Amino acid sequence: MTYPEALKYLETFIDYEKINDYDYKNSVDLERMRRLCHLLGDPQQEIKSIHIAGTKGKGSTAAFAHSILQKSGFRTGLYTSPHLISFRERIRINQDLIEEESIRRLTEKIKAVVETPRVKERPTFFEVYTALAYLYFKEQRVDFAVYEVGLGGRLDATNIIEPLVSAITPLSLEHTERLGNSLSAIAAEKAGIIKEGITCVSAPQEDEALEVIKKVCEERGSELVLIGRDVIYEELRCGPDFESFKVHGRLREYRDLKSRLLGSHQMVNAATAIGITEVLESKGIPIVTRAVSEGIEAAQWEGRLEVVGNRPLVVFDGAQNRASAGVLAENVKKIFRHERIILVLGVSKDKDIDGMLAELLPVSNSVVLTKSALADRALEPSEIKRRMKSGMDTRLTSNVCDAMKFALSKASPEDLVLVTGSLFVVGEAKVFMEKNPRMAADV
**pLDDT digits 0-9 by tens, 77-136:** 999 998 999 989 999 999 999 999 999 999 999 999 999 999 989 999 999 999 999 999
CA dihedral 381, 87, 190, 195 (to 10 degrees): 180
CA dihedral for 351, 148, 85, 361, sign (positive or negative): positive
Ranges of H-type helices in 140-257: 176-179, 183-190, 207-219
Q: What is the fold, at CATH topology level, of the domain defined by 306-439?
A: Protein-Tyrosine Phosphatase; Chain A (3.90.190)
| Structural contact between residues 244 and 234, judged by C-beta atoms closer than 8 angstroms | no
Number of H helices, E strands in the chain: 16, 17
Distance CA 215, CA 219 (A): 6
Residue 155 contacts by C-beta under 8 Å, 6 or more apart in sequence?
24, 25, 28, 29, 30, 189, 192
Distance CA 170, CA 191 (A): 12
Residue-wise pLDDT tens digits, 35-60: 999 999 999 999 999 999 999 999 99
- Reported pTM: 0.93
Report, as an integer, the average pLDDT of 292-301: 97
Distance CA 27, CA 403 (A): 35
Percentage of the chain exceeding pLDDT 90: 84
Q: Is the pLDDT of residue 443 over 50?
A: no
Nearest by Cα to 243 from 316, 331, 323, 327: 331
* Alpha-carbon radius of gyration of the chain: 21
Question: Would you state the pLDDT for residue 16?
Answer: 80
Question: Would you state the pLDDT for residue 178?
Answer: 62
Question: Would you state the pLDDT for residue 348?
Answer: 87
| Structural contact between residues 125 and 15, judged by C-beta atoms closer than 8 angstroms | yes
Question: Would you state the pLDDT for residue 211?
Answer: 98
CATH architecture entry for 3-298? 3-Layer(aba) Sandwich (3.40)
Amino acid at 113: V
Q: What are phi and psi of 301, to 5 degrees?
A: -155, 100
Q: Is the pLDDT of residue 176 over 80?
A: no
Q: Is the pLDDT of residue 170 over 60?
A: yes
Nearest by Cα to 147 from 265, 231, 63, 222: 63
Residue-wise pLDDT tens digits, 311-335: 999 999 999 889 899 999 999 999 9
Question: Would you state the pLDDT for residue 26?
Answer: 66
CA dihedral for 316, 434, 402, 365, sign (positive or negative): positive
Report, as an integer, the average pLDDT of 211-227: 98
Q: Count CB-CB contacts under 10 A for residue 221.
A: 10
Residue 375 or 300, more confident: 300
- Please report which confidence band the pLDDT of residue 23 belongs to, taking 50, 70 and 90 as the band edges: low
Nearest by Cα to 148 from 161, 135, 138, 321: 161
**Mean pLDDT, the chain, whole residue set:** 93
Q: What are phi and psi of 441, to 5 degrees?
A: -65, 165
Residue 87 contacts by C-beta under 8 Å, 6 or more apart in sequence?
7, 10, 103, 129
Q: Is the pLDDT of residue 20 over 70?
A: no
Nearest by Cα to 372 from 392, 344, 352, 353: 344
Q: Are 3-298 and 306-439 the same fold in CATH?
A: no
Q: Which of 168-172, 187-191, 202-206, 377-381 has the lowest mean pLDDT?
A: 377-381
Query: For residue 57, is it left (φ>0), alpha (ψ between -120 and 50) or beta?
Result: left
Domain boundaries, the chain: 3-298, 306-439
Distance CA 234, CA 246 (A): 5
Residue 158 contacts by C-beta under 8 Å, 6 or more apart in sequence?
51, 79, 130, 147, 148, 149, 150, 193
One-letter-per-residue 3-state SS of 257-292 = EEECCCCHHHHHHHHHHHHHHHHHHHCCCCCCHHHH
Angle between helices 100-114 and 30-39 (to 10 degrees): 100
Report, as an integer, the average pLDDT of 279-287: 97
Amino acid at 328: L
